[in-house]
Chain A
Amino acid sequence: MAGKVIVLTSGKGGVGKTTSAAAIAAGLALRGHRTVVIDFDVGLRNLDLIMGCERRVVFDFINVINGDAKLNQALIKDKRSDNLYIFPTSQTRDKDALKRDGVELVLNELKESFDYIVCDSPAGIEHGAITALYFADSAIIVTNPEVSSVRDSDRIIGILASKSRRAEFNLEPVAVHLLLSRYSPERVRRGEMLAVEDVKEILSIPLLGVIPESESVLKASNTGTPVAFDEESPAGRAYLDAVARFLGEQRELRFLQPERRNFFRALFGRA
């Protein structure tokens, strides 16, 4: 088995990288692919919380790189899917603890037993973020329809094209995809938010999906459930669509029109 490495990156913080990494990994696992999701944000780990396995962390990425633990001692199996594993990072080490050689060894070992290795990058363009994207085969650029996020995404796309391993060794370039999150069709309609077409045109990379701003995302993180497991929620379904497109399926974009005011919904207070 030769697993593919997917990095979720954005440059800017707070755009939904970890939420998206958890949801995409969950979606890939639901589709039957053996998937591991790795936290690269050393010192500020949060993937464990979003995945709901924070109390099961014993060993971490740094322990494995340093040889203090075996890979299978550090991997945490998700309780909802047999195909999904979480690989947490260290909460205490410093940011530069991820050495490229060590990361490469670990990734190569993971590639033998997983179809997809989803890397949740830290924000910024420092060591940690570069290490997270360096070995990527594909990149999912998580972007909000907002000027600073779009600019930082453009920067990260440039870095992928020049500093990734594929760029350094003149291999086929990293396949870059746009995931537009926290999208509000109503605000786009009012001219208060960049439309999906605008962001797509400005960044000129293929669109993987649009995740609508949704209350279910906060609810999912409150309970430690990847939002893709919530098939009731528009965001969850939008992530599953994105995963299907990633796997090569054609799917129409959904949730791009403002929701009609529904009398009954308003009455019963459901969003």
Chain B
Amino acid sequence: MGLLSLLFPERRTSAVIARERLKIVLAHERASRNAPDFLPVLQRELLDVISRYVEIRGDMIRVNVGKSGDTSLLEINVEIDGAKVTPAKNGAAEEGKAGAPRIEPGAATPWVKPS
């Protein structure tokens, strides 16, 4: 077995596949298990607000609570790549009114890494 593992270092046995699948699925489930109750509501309200400016679907926004060292992090990921700007409606993004700046299509978005 020692020699075999030298010759074929990472043999994709079914046990190796099982281990990797479990690690991935449990990482997801543990994160959502410890999530505070307000996350779904927060996600829905964020979606409402953002969709006043950009057309996005529910699956394009992800809200997670994580930890980095001793700090708890609220992580919000919004995917707007290719999303259309919503025509001004609800009065929220009308010019002359205080509110969030409009995002021009194709304009650089500072929090998205340029690819």
A146 and B17 CA atoms in complex are apart in Å by 11
Known A147-B21, A151-B22: A198·B29 in contact at CB below 8 Å: no
Q: How many A-B residue pairs have CB under 8 A?
A: 41
- For residue A155, which residues in chain B have a CB less than 8 angstroms away from its CB? 29, 33
- For residue B1, which residues in chain A have a CB less than 8 angstroms away from its CB? 189
Stretch at the interface among B7-15, B36-44, B71-79: B7-15
Shortest distance in angstroms between A257's beta carbon and chain B's nearest beta carbon? 11
- For residue A190, which residues in chain B have a CB less than 8 angstroms away from its CB? 13
Known A150-B22, A151-B22, A202-B23: A188·B15 in contact at CB below 8 Å: yes
Of the candidates B13, B19, B25, B26, the one whose C-beta lies within 8 Å of that of A192 is B13
Cβ < 8 Å to B, chain A residues 146-205: 146-147, 150-151, 154-155, 158, 188-195, 198, 202
Known A151-B25, A192-B13: A198·B30 in contact at CB below 8 Å: no
A194 and B13 CA atoms in complex are apart in Å by 10
Which of B22, B23, B25 has the most chain A CB atoms inside 10 A of its CB?
B22
A151 and B28 CA atoms in complex are apart in Å by 12
Shortest distance in angstroms between B36's beta carbon and chain A's nearest beta carbon? 13
Q: Is the CB of A198 within 8 A of B19?
A: yes
Interface size class of A (residues with CB under 8 A): 10 to 19
- For residue B16, which residues in chain A have a CB less than 8 angstroms away from its CB? 191
Known A154-B30, A158-B30, A158-B33: A194·B23 in contact at CB below 8 Å: no
Shortest distance in angstroms between B89's beta carbon and chain A's nearest beta carbon? 43
Shortest distance in angstroms between B35's beta carbon and chain A's nearest beta carbon? 12
- For residue A146, which residues in chain B have a CB less than 8 angstroms away from its CB? 18
Per-residue CB contact flags for chain B residues 39-83 toward chain A (1 = under 8 Å, else 0) read 000000000000000000000000000000000000000000000
Shortest distance in angstroms between B61's beta carbon and chain A's nearest beta carbon? 25
Q: Is the CB of B11 within 8 A of A191?
A: yes
Q: Is the CB of B14 within 8 A of A202?
A: no
Shortest distance in angstroms between B106's beta carbon and chain A's nearest beta carbon? 44
B residues near A, CB below 8 A?
1, 11, 13-16, 18-19, 21-23, 25-26, 29-30, 33
A residues near B, CB below 8 A?
146-147, 150-151, 154-155, 158, 188-195, 198, 202
**Can you list 29 A-B contacts with CB-CB less than 8 angstroms, sorted by A residue number?**
A146-B18, A147-B21, A150-B22, A150-B26, A151-B22, A151-B25, A151-B26, A151-B29, A154-B26, A154-B29, A155-B29, A155-B33, A158-B30, A158-B33, A188-B15, A190-B13, A191-B11, A191-B13, A191-B14, A191-B15, A191-B16, A192-B13, A192-B14, A194-B15, A194-B22, A195-B15, A198-B18, A202-B22, A202-B26
